[in-house]
Amino acid sequence: MTKALELAERAVAAAEGDGVEAVVQAERSGFARFAGSEVHQPTLIENVSIFLRVIRGGRAGAAASNRVDGDGFRELADRAGAAADASPEDPDLAGLAGTSQLPDVDGNDEETAELGPAEQARLAADAITAAGEMPVYGFFTSGAATVAVATSAGFSDEQTSTDAVAVALAATESVSGYAEQTAWAVRNVDPAAVARQAVEIAGRTANADALPPGSYRAVLAPYAIGELLQYFAFDAFSGLAYLEERSYLCGKLGERRFDEKVSIADDALDPRGLPKRFDFEGVPKERVPLVEDGVLRGTVWDLASAARAGDSQRSTGNAPPPAERRWGPIPFALSLAGGEAESVDELVELVGDGIYITRVHYLGIVEPRQGILTGMTRDGTFRIRDGKLAEPLVNLRFTVALPDVLAEVPGLTRETTLANEAAFYDERFAYGALVPAIATARFDVTGAGGRPGI
């Protein structure tokens, strides 16, 4: 892999300005995607991209390129400079990250970084073989992504993060089940176990029943609550959305709005997640409390939104990749604290009468300010009766205000799972939510879709 930090420093040196910031993303990854137990979309990627932002005379502009030769650097600097010169002056531009004490984190595994196409194909084959007669759909992917940031204010460092993800949907025309595992070390990902779990769930979904719309008690598996929380968080826990009055937290900071069992943080330092030392602006990562014991505590910030907020607000190290910078700070390491339940069965017993949801599909943000989301359940929706999992259900449409879902929480499992939230668009950036299974007293079903299966 190209030496990312060296490239970042060369880019800074090539530019002229009062402030210069370079972000290099280098990627080596492989994706063995399979369908019907056959690899059909295998993708090997090697790329380096350089994002260069120049500030001069109170004007800022940026350019990006994946050309790393001498001409490439010169042209990149010229284009970034031209972009800055074309911009009107902005007296309130945020400063750049300077030197700082960075935390030590895990997250870089040599074995994972060195996986090649043969190993990636073999790990996909492990899932396919383990599923036996049941067709499986999914992927095994692994990659090493290096982020280097250099600024004229003195920050200069790089970090390499590895990730491995196995996803399996076991399905026929009439049944389907889903499972996944994500980790920064491939030794903690077992594609065969993932496939077996998906097959086991699928085996219980035949002859699914309909369910009338209504408000139900529910148990949400980690994949389901993880995705719901991530979608909610894009607006709710964003400092920029807070300033722009799109966040659920507007006017509610310090109030207890969720069940006291609910504590949420953004914690990129947790070794159980996908740890990072600094964000895409070079600001150190830290654990950011968002909800403590049901009380709304705060949002995440990047340099620009923090500067705009004033009142000595500082960045919490949540700047997204350069291509996503326009969205403002994003909590990419959500962590919902576990509870006291020893098992999902215990949550099912707590719910007594309700529904169990393995996974949600195609979420839409209906109303960000109220945290209203819609989506469908899939690949393992079950009725809960008499404190036990009962008959399978058809896929259900739900329209829920997530604050309502979190307002009364009978319990959470002690164990948490890292749910993959990345779809691997653009430059590789793996992220996930560390979440337990959760029981809720309110989950609003607003319609019904088809039966499980493909």
Partner 1 sequence: MRALCEEAVAAALAGGASYADARAIVRRSQAISTKNQRVDRVDDVESEGIGVRVLVDGAWGFACDRRLDEAGAREAAGRATTFAKAAPGKHERALAPIEPARDEYRTPREQDPIDVPLGDKIALCLAAEEGMQNPAVKVTSAFVRAMRERKTLVSSEGTVVDHDLVECGGGIDAMASDDEISQLRSYPSAHGGSSRGAGWEYVLGLGLEREAPRVGEQAAALLRAPVCPSATTTAVIDAEQMVLQVHESTGHPTELDRVYGTEAAYAGTSFLHPGDLGSLRYGSEWMNITADPTTPQGLGTFGYDDEGVPATRTPIVESGVLRGFLTSRETAAKIGSGHGGSMRADSWSRMPLVRMTNLHLEPGEGTLDELLAEVDDGVYFETNKSWSIDDKRLNFQFGTQIAWEIKNGKRGRMLRDATYTGVTPVFWGSLDAVAGPESWVLYGLTNCGKGQPGQHAHVGHGASPARFRNVQVGVAPS
Site for partner 1 in 349-408 (CB under 8 A): 361-370, 372, 374-376, 378, 395, 397, 399-401, 404
> Does residue number 206 form part of the binding site for partner 1 (CB under 8 A)?
no
416-435 binders of partner 1 (CB under 8 A): 423-426, 428
Q: Which two tokens stand for residue 128?
A: 């396919």
102-141 binders of partner 1 (CB under 8 A): 116-118, 120-122, 124-125, 128-129, 135, 137-139, 141
145-204 binders of partner 1 (CB under 8 A): 167-169, 171, 178
Overall residue count recorded for the chain in this entry:
454
Q: Which two tokens stand for residue 180?
A: 């996944």
User: Given its phi and psi angles, is residue 263 left (phi above 0), alpha (psi -120 to 50 degrees) or beta?
Assistant: beta
Query: 10 Å Cβ neighbour count for 190?
Result: 18
Across the strands, what pairs with 146? 26, 160
What whole-number distance in Å separates Cα of residue 157 and Cα of residue 102?
9
Min. distance of Cβ 73 from partner 1 in angstroms? 12
Min. distance of Cβ 213 from partner 1 in angstroms? 9
Q: Which two tokens stand for residue 411?
A: 């319990």
Min. distance of Cβ 453 from partner 1 in angstroms? 9
Residue from 23, 76, 186, 220 touching partner 1 (CB under 8 A): that is: 76
Contact code string over 2-31 relative to partner 1, x by CB under 8 A: ---------------------------xxx
Min. distance of Cβ 374 from partner 1 in angstroms? 5
DSSP secondary structure letters along 300-321: B--HHHHHHH-TT----S----
Of 271 and 450, the one with the shorter C-beta distance to partner 1 is 450
The type of residue at 284 is P
434-453 binders of partner 1 (CB under 8 A): 442, 444, 446-450
> Does residue number 334 form part of the binding site for partner 1 (CB under 8 A)?
no
> Does residue number 251 form part of the binding site for partner 1 (CB under 8 A)?
yes
Burial class (CB in 10 A: 0-12, 13-18, 19+), 234: middle
**Helix-, strand-, coil-residue percentages of the chain, each rounded to 5:** 25, 40, 40
Min. distance of Cβ 404 from partner 1 in angstroms? 5
29-68 binders of partner 1 (CB under 8 A): 29-49, 59-67
Of 245 and 340, the one with the shorter C-beta distance to partner 1 is 245
Of 153 and 366, the one with the shorter C-beta distance to partner 1 is 366
Of 277 and 325, the one with the shorter C-beta distance to partner 1 is 325
What whole-number distance in Å separates Cα of residue 141 and Cα of residue 124?
8
275-314 binders of partner 1 (CB under 8 A): none
Of 329 and 338, the one with the shorter C-beta distance to partner 1 is 329
> Degrees (nearest 5) of the Cα angle 99, 100, 102?
130
Cα 229 to Cα 75, 222, 236, 407: the distances in Å are 42, 10, 10, 14
